[in-house]
Amino acid sequence: MKSFLFLFLLLESVLAIAQEEITELELKNHIEFLSSDELKGRYPGTSENDTVVNYLVNDFSKHQISVLVQEFEAKKRKDNTIVSTYNVLGLIEGNDSSLKSEVIILGAHYDHLGIKGDSIYHGADDNASGVAALLEIAEKVKAHEKELKRSIIFIAFGAEEQGLLGSQFFVENPIVPLNNIKLMINMDMLGSLNEKSQVYMGGAGTFLGGVELMKSLGEPNELSPVVHAGSVGGSDHVSFYKKGISVLGIHTGGNENYHQPTDTIDTLNISGEVKVANYIYQALMEVATTRKELKFIQQD
Ligand SMILES: [Zn+2]
Protein backbone atom coordinates (compact mmCIF):
# COMPACT_ATOMS: atom_id res chain seq x y z
CA MET A 1 0.00 0.00 0.00
CA LYS A 2 2.87 2.36 0.24
CA SER A 3 3.98 3.94 -2.94
CA PHE A 4 5.15 7.27 -4.18
CA LEU A 5 3.23 7.64 -7.34
CA PHE A 6 4.58 10.35 -9.50
CA LEU A 7 7.57 12.59 -9.32
CA PHE A 8 6.84 15.81 -11.11
CA LEU A 9 9.88 17.96 -11.55
CA LEU A 10 9.36 21.33 -13.12
CA LEU A 11 7.17 19.98 -15.84
CA GLU A 12 5.28 23.15 -16.51
CA SER A 13 6.36 24.73 -19.74
CA VAL A 14 5.24 28.18 -18.67
CA LEU A 15 7.56 29.25 -15.89
CA ALA A 16 5.85 31.64 -13.55
CA ILE A 17 8.02 33.97 -11.51
CA ALA A 18 7.63 33.27 -7.82
CA GLN A 19 5.81 36.21 -6.39
CA GLU A 20 6.78 37.71 -3.12
CA GLU A 21 3.57 39.14 -1.71
CA ILE A 22 0.66 37.09 -0.40
CA THR A 23 -2.47 38.85 -1.66
CA GLU A 24 -6.12 38.67 -0.74
CA LEU A 25 -7.00 37.97 -4.37
CA GLU A 26 -4.73 34.93 -4.60
CA LEU A 27 -6.09 33.45 -1.37
CA LYS A 28 -9.63 34.17 -2.51
CA ASN A 29 -9.10 32.49 -5.90
CA HIS A 30 -7.80 29.29 -4.28
CA ILE A 31 -10.63 29.18 -1.73
CA GLU A 32 -13.25 29.94 -4.36
CA PHE A 33 -12.07 27.03 -6.48
CA LEU A 34 -11.60 24.54 -3.65
CA SER A 35 -14.94 25.27 -2.00
CA SER A 36 -16.95 25.47 -5.23
CA ASP A 37 -20.06 23.33 -5.78
CA GLU A 38 -18.21 21.58 -8.63
CA LEU A 39 -15.74 19.98 -6.21
CA LYS A 40 -18.59 18.51 -4.16
CA GLY A 41 -16.92 18.81 -0.78
CA ARG A 42 -13.55 17.22 -1.73
CA TYR A 43 -14.36 13.72 -0.53
CA PRO A 44 -11.63 11.03 -0.62
CA GLY A 45 -11.93 8.56 -3.47
CA THR A 46 -13.96 10.85 -5.75
CA SER A 47 -12.92 12.29 -9.10
CA GLU A 48 -13.35 15.75 -7.51
CA ASN A 49 -10.75 14.82 -4.91
CA ASP A 50 -8.38 13.93 -7.78
CA THR A 51 -9.15 17.27 -9.42
CA VAL A 52 -7.93 18.98 -6.26
CA VAL A 53 -4.77 16.86 -6.27
CA ASN A 54 -4.04 17.96 -9.84
CA TYR A 55 -4.69 21.58 -8.91
CA LEU A 56 -2.14 21.34 -6.08
CA VAL A 57 0.46 19.59 -8.27
CA ASN A 58 0.03 22.26 -10.94
CA ASP A 59 0.31 25.13 -8.50
CA PHE A 60 3.55 23.86 -6.93
CA SER A 61 4.97 23.04 -10.37
CA LYS A 62 4.03 26.45 -11.76
CA HIS A 63 6.29 28.02 -9.14
CA GLN A 64 9.17 25.60 -9.78
CA ILE A 65 8.63 23.78 -6.53
CA SER A 66 9.45 20.05 -6.79
CA VAL A 67 6.35 17.93 -6.24
CA LEU A 68 5.86 14.44 -4.91
CA VAL A 69 2.48 12.72 -4.77
CA GLN A 70 2.08 10.07 -2.10
CA GLU A 71 -0.75 7.60 -2.67
CA PHE A 72 -2.38 5.79 0.24
CA GLU A 73 -5.47 3.83 1.11
CA ALA A 74 -8.09 5.47 3.31
CA LYS A 75 -10.85 3.70 5.17
CA LYS A 76 -13.92 5.91 5.11
CA ARG A 77 -15.68 6.53 8.42
CA LYS A 78 -19.14 6.41 6.83
CA ASP A 79 -19.09 2.80 5.61
CA ASN A 80 -15.59 1.41 6.29
CA THR A 81 -14.91 1.04 2.56
CA ILE A 82 -11.40 1.69 1.35
CA VAL A 83 -10.44 4.18 -1.34
CA SER A 84 -7.18 5.46 -2.78
CA THR A 85 -6.28 9.03 -2.01
CA TYR A 86 -3.19 11.23 -1.90
CA ASN A 87 -0.90 13.56 -0.03
CA VAL A 88 0.68 16.26 -2.21
CA LEU A 89 4.17 17.37 -1.18
CA GLY A 90 6.16 20.42 -2.30
CA LEU A 91 9.88 20.46 -1.56
CA ILE A 92 12.28 23.40 -1.20
CA GLU A 93 15.82 22.55 -0.23
CA GLY A 94 17.90 24.49 2.26
CA ASN A 95 21.35 25.86 1.42
CA ASP A 96 23.45 25.14 4.50
CA SER A 97 25.61 22.06 3.96
CA SER A 98 24.94 20.66 7.42
CA LEU A 99 21.48 22.08 8.24
CA LYS A 100 19.81 21.29 4.90
CA SER A 101 19.22 17.71 6.04
CA GLU A 102 16.95 19.13 8.74
CA VAL A 103 13.37 19.65 7.65
CA ILE A 104 10.50 21.92 8.67
CA ILE A 105 7.06 20.80 7.51
CA LEU A 106 4.16 23.14 6.80
CA GLY A 107 0.89 21.26 6.37
CA ALA A 108 -2.83 21.71 5.71
CA HIS A 109 -5.46 19.11 4.85
CA TYR A 110 -7.33 19.60 1.57
CA ASP A 111 -10.12 17.03 1.97
CA HIS A 112 -13.55 17.72 3.42
CA LEU A 113 -16.83 15.94 4.11
CA GLY A 114 -18.30 15.56 0.62
CA ILE A 115 -22.07 15.49 0.14
CA LYS A 116 -24.68 14.33 2.64
CA GLY A 117 -28.27 14.12 1.44
CA ASP A 118 -28.74 17.07 -0.87
CA SER A 119 -26.16 19.22 0.83
CA ILE A 120 -22.64 19.98 -0.34
CA TYR A 121 -20.20 20.49 2.51
CA HIS A 122 -18.04 23.24 1.00
CA GLY A 123 -15.34 23.37 3.64
CA ALA A 124 -14.25 26.92 2.80
CA ASP A 125 -12.79 27.62 6.23
CA ASP A 126 -12.17 23.89 6.87
CA ASN A 127 -9.79 23.76 5.16
CA ALA A 128 -9.72 25.46 1.79
CA SER A 129 -8.43 28.45 3.79
CA GLY A 130 -5.44 26.48 5.09
CA VAL A 131 -4.62 25.07 1.65
CA ALA A 132 -4.76 28.54 0.12
CA ALA A 133 -2.28 29.73 2.74
CA LEU A 134 -0.08 26.68 2.10
CA LEU A 135 0.19 27.45 -1.62
CA GLU A 136 0.80 31.16 -1.14
CA ILE A 137 3.33 30.72 1.65
CA ALA A 138 5.16 28.15 -0.50
CA GLU A 139 5.31 30.63 -3.35
CA LYS A 140 6.70 33.32 -1.06
CA VAL A 141 9.29 30.95 0.43
CA LYS A 142 10.35 30.00 -3.11
CA ALA A 143 11.02 33.69 -3.82
CA HIS A 144 13.27 33.72 -0.72
CA GLU A 145 14.76 30.23 -1.03
CA LYS A 146 18.37 31.46 -0.98
CA GLU A 147 17.85 32.50 2.65
CA LEU A 148 16.94 28.98 3.78
CA LYS A 149 19.38 26.93 5.81
CA ARG A 150 16.99 24.10 6.63
CA SER A 151 14.77 22.45 4.03
CA ILE A 152 11.01 22.87 3.93
CA ILE A 153 8.38 20.35 2.88
CA PHE A 154 4.87 21.68 2.22
CA ILE A 155 2.21 18.98 2.54
CA ALA A 156 -1.45 19.05 1.54
CA PHE A 157 -2.85 16.05 3.41
CA GLY A 158 -5.68 13.84 2.22
CA ALA A 159 -8.37 12.17 4.34
CA GLU A 160 -7.90 14.22 7.51
CA GLU A 161 -11.64 14.21 8.16
CA GLN A 162 -11.56 10.39 8.08
CA GLY A 163 -9.23 10.33 11.11
CA LEU A 164 -5.95 12.12 10.28
CA LEU A 165 -5.21 9.40 7.72
CA GLY A 166 -2.94 11.36 5.37
CA SER A 167 -0.65 12.56 8.13
CA GLN A 168 -0.63 9.10 9.72
CA PHE A 169 0.43 7.61 6.40
CA PHE A 170 3.16 10.21 6.05
CA VAL A 171 4.71 9.58 9.48
CA GLU A 172 4.66 5.82 8.78
CA ASN A 173 6.14 6.35 5.30
CA PRO A 174 8.22 9.51 5.62
CA ILE A 175 10.31 10.64 2.66
CA VAL A 176 13.04 11.79 5.07
CA PRO A 177 14.05 10.17 8.38
CA LEU A 178 11.64 11.29 11.13
CA ASN A 179 14.62 12.36 13.23
CA ASN A 180 15.41 14.99 10.60
CA ILE A 181 11.98 16.62 10.93
CA LYS A 182 12.53 19.41 13.46
CA LEU A 183 9.10 21.05 13.45
CA MET A 184 5.70 20.49 11.88
CA ILE A 185 3.42 23.53 11.57
CA ASN A 186 -0.21 22.72 10.75
CA MET A 187 -2.86 25.09 9.46
CA ASP A 188 -6.47 24.04 9.84
CA MET A 189 -9.09 26.81 9.48
CA LEU A 190 -7.48 30.22 8.96
CA GLY A 191 -10.41 32.11 7.48
CA SER A 192 -12.28 33.38 10.53
CA LEU A 193 -10.03 35.98 12.13
CA ASN A 194 -12.18 37.84 14.65
CA GLU A 195 -12.40 41.58 15.44
CA LYS A 196 -9.73 41.22 18.09
CA SER A 197 -7.43 39.64 15.47
CA GLN A 198 -6.85 36.61 17.66
CA VAL A 199 -4.95 33.75 16.08
CA TYR A 200 -4.90 30.60 18.22
CA MET A 201 -2.24 27.96 18.48
CA GLY A 202 -1.25 24.89 20.44
CA GLY A 203 2.09 23.16 20.81
CA ALA A 204 4.28 26.28 20.87
CA GLY A 205 6.06 24.87 23.92
CA THR A 206 7.13 21.72 22.05
CA PHE A 207 10.15 23.49 20.56
CA LEU A 208 12.73 25.71 22.21
CA GLY A 209 11.74 29.38 22.14
CA GLY A 210 8.43 28.61 20.43
CA VAL A 211 6.12 30.48 22.78
CA GLU A 212 8.28 33.63 22.70
CA LEU A 213 8.67 33.50 18.93
CA MET A 214 4.95 33.15 18.22
CA LYS A 215 4.08 35.95 20.64
CA SER A 216 6.73 38.29 19.24
CA LEU A 217 5.46 37.97 15.66
CA GLY A 218 1.97 39.17 16.64
CA GLU A 219 2.51 42.90 16.73
CA PRO A 220 4.37 43.30 13.41
CA ASN A 221 1.50 41.46 11.73
CA GLU A 222 -1.29 43.34 13.56
CA LEU A 223 -2.39 40.12 15.25
CA SER A 224 -3.08 39.10 18.85
CA PRO A 225 -1.71 35.57 19.12
CA VAL A 226 -3.23 33.30 21.75
CA VAL A 227 -0.31 30.99 22.32
CA HIS A 228 -0.58 27.69 24.18
CA ALA A 229 2.59 25.80 25.09
CA GLY A 230 0.68 22.52 25.14
CA SER A 231 -2.93 21.86 23.99
CA VAL A 232 -1.61 20.01 20.98
CA GLY A 233 -4.79 18.16 19.92
CA GLY A 234 -6.99 18.61 16.90
CA SER A 235 -5.57 17.98 13.46
CA ASP A 236 -2.77 16.45 11.38
CA HIS A 237 0.05 17.77 13.57
CA VAL A 238 -1.04 15.25 16.23
CA SER A 239 0.32 12.43 14.04
CA PHE A 240 3.75 14.06 14.18
CA TYR A 241 3.62 14.88 17.88
CA LYS A 242 2.92 11.22 18.65
CA LYS A 243 6.26 10.45 16.95
CA GLY A 244 8.11 12.86 19.22
CA ILE A 245 8.27 15.73 16.73
CA SER A 246 7.79 19.39 17.72
CA VAL A 247 4.53 20.77 16.39
CA LEU A 248 2.49 23.94 16.15
CA GLY A 249 -1.21 23.79 15.27
CA ILE A 250 -2.62 27.15 14.11
CA HIS A 251 -6.21 28.26 13.50
CA THR A 252 -8.47 31.30 13.77
CA GLY A 253 -11.18 29.66 15.87
CA GLY A 254 -14.34 27.67 15.33
CA ASN A 255 -17.73 29.09 14.44
CA GLU A 256 -21.32 28.00 13.83
CA ASN A 257 -20.53 26.92 10.26
CA TYR A 258 -18.03 24.29 11.38
CA HIS A 259 -18.77 20.99 9.58
CA GLN A 260 -21.97 22.46 8.12
CA PRO A 261 -22.94 23.05 4.48
CA THR A 262 -22.84 26.76 5.39
CA ASP A 263 -19.03 26.78 5.63
CA THR A 264 -18.82 28.89 2.47
CA ILE A 265 -16.45 31.54 1.16
CA ASP A 266 -18.82 34.45 1.81
CA THR A 267 -18.51 33.88 5.58
CA LEU A 268 -14.72 34.27 5.57
CA ASN A 269 -12.41 37.11 6.55
CA ILE A 270 -9.87 36.81 3.75
CA SER A 271 -8.10 40.13 4.39
CA GLY A 272 -7.57 38.79 7.92
CA GLU A 273 -6.14 35.60 6.49
CA VAL A 274 -3.49 37.60 4.60
CA LYS A 275 -2.15 38.73 7.99
CA VAL A 276 -2.29 35.22 9.40
CA ALA A 277 -0.48 33.78 6.37
CA ASN A 278 2.29 36.37 6.68
CA TYR A 279 2.57 35.63 10.39
CA ILE A 280 3.04 31.92 9.64
CA TYR A 281 5.46 32.71 6.83
CA GLN A 282 7.63 34.70 9.21
CA ALA A 283 7.59 31.95 11.83
CA LEU A 284 8.52 29.40 9.19
CA MET A 285 11.39 31.52 7.85
CA GLU A 286 12.67 32.17 11.37
CA VAL A 287 13.00 28.47 12.17
CA ALA A 288 14.30 27.60 8.70
CA THR A 289 17.02 30.26 8.69
CA THR A 290 18.32 30.17 12.26
CA ARG A 291 21.37 28.22 13.35
CA LYS A 292 19.76 27.73 16.74
CA GLU A 293 19.10 24.10 17.54
CA LEU A 294 15.46 23.00 17.31
CA LYS A 295 14.78 20.58 20.08
CA PHE A 296 11.70 18.55 20.95
CA ILE A 297 10.08 19.33 24.29
CA GLN A 298 7.33 17.03 25.56
CA GLN A 299 4.14 18.75 26.77
CA ASP A 300 1.21 17.01 28.39
ZN1 LIG B 1 -10.08 20.68 9.33
State pLDDT tens for residues 271-288. 999 999 999 999 999 999
Q: Distance, CA 258 to ligand 1 centroid (Å)?
A: 9
The residues, ordered by sequence, that sit 6+ positions from 68 with a Cβ below 8 Å of its Cβ are 4, 6, 7, 8, 88, 89, 91, 175
pLDDT computed for residue 281 by the predictor: 98
Contacts of 214 (CB under 8 A, 6+ apart): 201, 204, 225, 227, 248, 283
Question: How many Å lie between the centroid of ligand 1 and the Cα of residue 50?
Answer: 18
CA 20 to ligand 1 center in whole angstroms: 27
Give distance in angstroms: CA of 123 to centre of ligand 1: 8
DSSP 157-225: ES-STTTSHHHHHHHHS-SS-GGGEEEEEEE---S---TT-EEEEE-GGGBTTHHHHHHHTTGGGT-EE
User: 100-142 pLDDT, tens per residue?
Assistant: 999 999 999 999 999 999 999 999 999 999 999 999 999 999 9
Least trusted range by pLDDT, from 5-14, 199-208, 234-243, 265-274: 5-14
**Is it the case that residue 16 has pLDDT exceeding 90?**
no
CA of 153 to the centre of ligand 1 (A): 20
- Ligand 1 centre and the CA of 127: distance in Å? 5
Give ion ligand 1 contacts, CB < 5 A: 126-127, 188
Average pLDDT of the chain, as a whole number: 94
Q: From ligand 1's centre to the CA of 23, what distance in Å?
A: 23
Specify whether the CB–CB gap between 122 and 104 falls below 8 A. no
Measured CA to CA, the distance from residue 123 to residue 143 in angstroms comes to 29
The Å distance, Cα 171 to ligand 1 centre, comes to 18
37 CA from centroid of ligand 1 (Å): 18
Q: Ligand 1 mean position to 177 CA, how many Å?
A: 26
CB 141 within 8 A of CB 148: yes
Task: Please give the domain boundaries of the chain with CATH numbers for all domains.
Answer: 3-289 (3.40.630.10)
